Amino acid sequence: MKTINFTEFRKNASGVMDLVEQGETIRVLRHGRAVAKILPAELPERKPAWKQPGPRLIMSGSSLSSAVLEERRSSR
């Protein structure tokens, strides 16, 4: 765990957030007392969109192929 003072945090907030994003835990001190602890967020691991299954259409009733065949039979 890295410890920084509040002034350093204000000056380098973007760099501090980069460290947190990489998994580092940061403790922020103000006047020598700990006032904050910045932890990486626990996000669920997501698959890229191209690896996720696509949407499926579910319809009630007969299938399209059955309807076409039935229409052909009835038109004779």
Place of tokens 């998994």: 23
pLDDT in tens, 49-75: 888 888 887 877 778 888 888 888 888
> Which one, of 49, 2, 8, lies nearest residue 22 by Cα?
2
DSSP state of 37: E
Fold (topology level) of 1-41: YefM-like fold (3.40.1620)
Total-model pTM: 0.55
Place of tokens 């922020």: 28
Asked if pLDDT for residue 15 goes beyond 80, the answer is: yes
